[in-house]
């Protein structure tokens, strides 16, 4: 059977920097192996643009999976054609084979039915566990389902169940925290969550756009001038039947996000003209934690500051520490936020960490994800 996973993990100089996505797929791989299936794994890695890219081979992924499973995982240098067919024909029950990067073929991202059919011809059943790629209508995530019985893997099921409950049957009180750099990439999710949550805390650079929309001066901070109207409209809908917006009270400012620069914490109404807001201050963290007090669940996407550069990671870390000790169900998503929390070993103290970046955002926006829609066992099928 063919198992689509999302092993698109960060790799530097041939070394995997974070294997979370591989570990999260283990239950599915182990379950299928335990049933005696011949497990043929497909994944993309990076964006090689339809060509072979030596740095984007799936060989290190197969090796890491083999270490985690404590058994050999074979690798073949193509994902379709004679080499792949020969490798599949040589498999025995319970064997695992990892195909080469599906994006080495242009038919993958074009969702070419001929390429999808070639992939499908390698197996008799398709299991999709690649939640992180479910927002892409590609051959190995969507097209292939036309040629084989298609079902969700255990990770896919867990993501859909956890995030799906926020969308269709949200526990209350529900609090969302949204940070990150730009409103423009998160308008959909802000609007969708405003309808579902009781309170919505805004941090990160996008808080600067909201504060500016309220008439405050943000110095040289990252403000999206073209999103001021969006911010104003969200501010005016605050508390009008949907959620209430909660904005920062104080900010950590500095001339640049560089290590060793002089930093200062100021009220949001006192940002100096030559400074940038680079993190939320301690009062804001306290306010956000009070907002989460007594919540049934907290959904958090996006870091509260420039977490890549110390000390602008403090707000994000302090909020995560506070949430780790709370009784609320904590649901975390977003590539950068998850990376920030992993640095401090705080991710494992959250109730649920989504493996999706863009996929999680699109799911929380209420969009239909092609990789889910293509499955035969989806709820509305």
| Catalytic site positions | 21, 182, 335, 358
Nearer to ligand ADP among residue 29 and residue 285 (C-beta): 285
Minimum distance from CB of 308 to Mg ion (Å)? 11
Is residue 335 within the footprint of ligand ADP (CB under 6 A)?
A: yes
- DSSP result, 64-108: HHHHHHTS--EE-S-SSHHHHHHHHHT--TT-EEE---GGGSTTT
Nearer to ligand 3PG among residue 133 and residue 192 (C-beta): 133
Is residue 123 within the footprint of ligand ADP (CB under 6 A)?
A: no
Contact in structure between 254 and 275 (CB atoms under 8 Å): yes
DSSP label at 313?
T
Is residue 153 within the footprint of Mg ion (CB under 5 A)?
A: no
Euclidean distance between CA atoms 270 and 264, whole angstroms:
11
Piece in contact with Mg ion (CB under 5 A), picked from 11-19, 110-118, 333-341, 371-379: 333-341
132 binds, among ligand 3PG, ligand ADP, Mg ion, none (CB under 5 to 8 A by kind): ligand 3PG
Helix (H) or strand (E) holding 316: helix 314-324
Contact in structure between 29 and 68 (CB atoms under 8 Å): no
Is residue 51 within the footprint of ligand 3PG (CB under 6 A)?
A: no
Out of 306, 336, 369, 374, the only residue in the binding site for Mg ion (CB under 5 A) is 336
Piece in contact with ligand 3PG (CB under 6 A), picked from 58-66, 131-139, 158-166, 336-344: 131-139
Minimum distance from CB of 348 to ligand ADP (Å)? 17
Torsion of CA 337, 127, 41, 66, to 10 degrees: 70
Q: Hey, which residues does 174 pair with through a beta bridge?
A: 297
Q: Which two three-digit tokens encode residue 285?
A: 């963290």
Is residue 278 within the footprint of ligand ADP (CB under 6 A)?
A: yes
Piece in contact with Mg ion (CB under 5 A), picked from 284-292, 310-318, 335-343, 367-375: 335-343
Cα distances from 333 to residues 52, 156, 245, 359, 361, in angstroms, run 31, 15, 20, 10, 8
Out of 28, 133, 227, 301, the only residue in the binding site for ligand 3PG (CB under 6 A) is 133
Is residue 47 within the footprint of ligand 3PG (CB under 6 A)?
A: yes
Q: Which two three-digit tokens encode residue 132?
A: 């992180």
DSSP label at 277?
E
Euclidean distance between CA atoms 93 and 35, whole angstroms:
9
Question: Which parts of this chain interact with Mg ion (CB under 5 A)?
Answer: 335-336
Contacting positions for ligand 3PG (CB under 6 A): 6, 8, 47, 132-133, 136, 357-358
């Amino acid at each position: 059977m063919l198992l689509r996973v999302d092993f698109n993990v960060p790799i530097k100089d041939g070394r995997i920097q974070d294997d979370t996505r591989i570990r999260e797929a283990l239950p599915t791989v182990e379950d299928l192996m335990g049933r005696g299936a011949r497990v043929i794994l497909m994944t993309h890695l990076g964006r090689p643009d339809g060509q072979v890219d030596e740095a984007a081979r799936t060989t290190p992924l197969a090796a890491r999976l083999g270490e985690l499973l404590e058994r050999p995982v074979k690798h073949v240098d193509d994902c379709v054609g004679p080499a792949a067919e020969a490798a599949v024909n040589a498999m025995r029950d319970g064997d695992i084979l990892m195909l080469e990067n599906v994006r080495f073929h242009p038919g993958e991202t074009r969702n070419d039915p001929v390429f999808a059919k070639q992939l499908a011809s390698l197996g008799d059943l398709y299991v999709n566990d690649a939640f992180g790629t479910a927002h892409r209508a590609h051959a190995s995530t969507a097209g292939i389902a036309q040629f084989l019985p298609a079902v969700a893997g255990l990770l896919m099921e867990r993501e859909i169940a956890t995030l799906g409950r926020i969308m269709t049957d949200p526990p209350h009180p529900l609090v969302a925290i949204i940070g990150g750099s730009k409103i423009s990439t998160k308008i959909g999710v802000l609007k969708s969550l405003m309808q579902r949550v009781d309170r919505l805390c805004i941090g990160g650079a996008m808080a600067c756009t909201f504060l500016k929309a309220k008439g405050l001066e943000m110095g040289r901070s990252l403000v999206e001038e073209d999103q001021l109207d969006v911010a104003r409209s969200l501010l005016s809908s605050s508390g009008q039947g949907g959620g209430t917006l909660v904005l920062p009270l104080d900010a950590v400012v500095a001339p640049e996000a560089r290590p060793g620069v002089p930093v200062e914490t100021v009220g949001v109404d006192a940002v100096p003209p030559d400074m940038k807001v680079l993190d939320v201050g301690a009062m804001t963290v306290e306010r956000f934690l009070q907002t989460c007090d007594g919540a049934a669940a907290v959904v958090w996407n996006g870091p509260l500051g420039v977490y890549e550069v110390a000390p602008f990671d403090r707000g994000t870390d302090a909020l995560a520490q506070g949430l780790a000790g709370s009784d609320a169900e904590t649901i975390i998503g977003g590539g950068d936020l998850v990376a920030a929390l992993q640095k401090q070993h705080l991710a494992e103290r959250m109730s649920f960490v989504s493996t999706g970046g863009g996929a999680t955002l699109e799911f929380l926006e209420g969009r239909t994800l092609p990789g889910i829609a293509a499955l035969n066992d989806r709820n509305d099928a």
